[in-house]
Amino acid sequence: MAACVEQELLLGALADGELDAANAALVEAHAARCDGCRDELERIEAMKRLLAGGGVRHSAPADLVARISNLPELNDRPARRRWLPGWLAPGAVGAIAATLAMVTLVPLSAESPLDEQLVSSHVRSLQPGHLTDVQTTNQHIVKPWFNGRIDFAPPVPELADQGFPLAGGRLDSIDGKTVAAIVYHRRLHTVNLYVWPAKDTAERSFIKDGFAVAEWSRNGLRYAAVSDIPAPELKQFEKLFVAKSG
């Protein structure tokens, strides 16, 4: 029996010790009652034990180790005018540029009391049967489904041609309020977009417990997208959603 698609990444994160206590407990509880996920978790842990054993890691030949040790850049010499060796500088410049880009895309922000609820709700939704109340890729079904269930009308743009196909929607609860949760996919990953009425506030982007979160406001509604995709991709989702929402 295969593991649940929406649980595969979480099982790997559990085996690697990358989940916090609350999320680890949720995944462990799911694996305990799901044969496919339990088998996959056991397979991952067996593979980790195998890779940690002797005879798997390849050791560099002694002559290569000696040649690296004799590199001028690694020897104690008077400081040179260049602060980086020539062979390292291009890579370092690229790394610095990438870091600056990440800082631009994921600004630091003060933690909000809602942060924990958003991430916890996202993790809960990944349990079988919890992701959608209405499961469809048709925006003309998801959008009217919310009518009469909530007192606001969230936009539901179609983003499949940009790599974020619609998966459906559901009702959820954040801070004691009923909110709309619009579900999109990104490859094998899930993007939960929570929407509720609120005054316009500043945009926020951050990482919490390994999940990327992007928040923004528009036309009296507050949006919070949560996913385990890279933060720059979630920022891309935000821009596409805003552009397609009119």
Answer with the one of 71, 86, 104 that is the final residue of a domain.
Answer: 104
- Helix H or strand E segment including 41: helix 35-52
Residues 119 and 41 in one domain: no
Are 211 and 240 within one domain?
Answer: yes
Let me know whether 80 and 162 are in one domain. Answer: no
Question: Which residue type sits at 89?
Answer: A
Domain check: are 131 and 204 in the same one? yes
Quick: pLDDT tens for 98-119.
444 444 444 444 567 788 999 9
Q: Is residue 133 part of a domain?
A: yes
- Region 178-197: mean pLDDT is 96
| 65 class by beta-carbon count within 10 Å (0-12 exposed, 13-18 middle, 19+ buried) | exposed
Please indicate, yes or no, whether residues 24 and 99 belong to a single structural domain of this protein: no
pLDDT in tens, 107-162: 444 567 788 999 999 999 998 889 999 999 999 999 999 999 999 999 999 999 99
197 lies in the same domain as 155: yes
Distance CA 71, CA 62 (A): 15
Backbone angles phi, psi at 171, to 5 degrees: -100, 140
Q: Is residue 220 part of a domain?
A: yes
Nearest-CA neighbor of 22 among 135, 124, 141, 115? 124
Same domain? For 156 and 198 the reply is yes
Quick one: 142 and 38 in the same domain? no
Q: Using a cut of 0.85, tell me whether the model's pTM lies above it.
A: no
Q: Phi-psi region for residue 75, left (φ > 0), alpha (ψ -120 to 50) or beta? A: beta
Same domain, 208 and 137: yes
- Residues 47, 67 within the same domain: no
Residue 57 belongs to a domain: no
Query: Are both 181 and 88 inside the same structural domain?
Result: no
Total domains in the fold of the chain: 3
Q: Which of 28-37, 43-52, 87-96, 188-197 has the highest mean pLDDT?
A: 188-197
What's the domain range around 34?
A: 5-52
The domain that holds 114 is classified in CATH as 3.30.200.100
119 and 95 within one domain: no
